[in-house]
Structure 1
Amino acid sequence: MVKIEKAVPNQASIIAGLIMEAMNHDCCRYFAGPHHSLADFHAFMTKLVAREDTQYSYRNTLVAIDNGRVVGCCVSYDGKLLRELRKAFIEEALKTFNMDHSDMQDETQAGELYIDSLAVLADYRGQGIATLLLKSTCQKAKEMGLPAGLLVDKGNPKAEQLYRRLGFEYVNDTAWGSHPMRHLQKTMS
């Protein structure tokens, strides 16, 4: 039986890999630059997940556990903290990859619990684990008194269908990293 729990630091490597799946590997390559591999980016993300002061921190992550194994994760944080939490990503990318991402656009803002990354291991997909993670994250939003918000790639109608089925509604069209996106939100009552 799959359980949803708060992440812990020693899960950083598997969480980093799941976040990279959520980002997609082209995006990971972009952030790492032309002289670094996906393995380099994985090491970079593992470091960020293990920290307490980053948007990808284990402290902002719920994990799905099956027989002691992390099989999925959902990273979320208060949108008003994005710029503060993103500083570590920008500083580490400059130090590790010599890439300056300080001009990155904001994908969220104050007034929502932003769902940054959601991913489930390939052999566990289709079993309702993403739904469990999202429901737990929406409970977190409710406890914070915020709606839950996310961006979904317009080219990923299957994901959008899941979000809408769980009560997320269209807010507006946007773009992130040159990808056309839809901003969806679920109001908690």
Structure 2
Amino acid sequence: MKKGLLLLKWIFVCFIFSLLISCTNIHPTNTTTYSYNQALNPNRFNEDFASRLPPEMDTNGKKMVLVDPNVHAWGAYDQDGHLVRAGIATAGGATCPPDDPAPDCRTGVGTFHITSMRGEDCYSKVYPKPHGGGLMPYCMYFNNGEALHGSPDNVVIEANVSHGCVRMRIQDAQWMQENFAQVGTTVKVLPYNS
């Protein structure tokens, strides 16, 4: 009985430890850690991300997606330049995740256009290294291999820690793909502050 109880305690401790490890992203050159509490706190999605972006922008009479890595937000602007929806965005980091030897994984800055889109079955052919297979539901490619895409809530946080893509909540990416974006839609990524 004591051995069984001891084994049960050991399994519980290992489970808690694995949860803590899976919610921590430590980069070897820049010890950037996002907290376990942030990754599991569902209230972070209740933030008013629209208030972090301009309510209107010059979109040259076309729909546009704005990504601001400094305020960790994306916004969808209609052809009249009005912000119609916004949400949390996790852009690429100044240092790459541990599985990527590149020195910098920041999302490309500038004005791009969506070149291709895939549905809920979209996945990465590159990440995680070395074979790919990472799920990227409702992906919308705009800059070579960079895309706006859905990700599980535990990795959509207010920090720039991706390989270069812009992570969004899955329901936001689905909304964007089904109701707003199409091939040719403008994507503007603002410069990083640092």
TM-score (normalizing by structure 2):
0.28
Structure number with larger C-alpha Rg: 2
Which structure has greater helix proportion?
Answer: 1
Higher relative contact order at CA 8 Å, sep ≥6: structure 1 or structure 2?
A: 2
**If the length of structure 1 is used for normalisation, what is the TM-score?**
0.28
Determine which structure has the larger strand proportion and give its number.
1
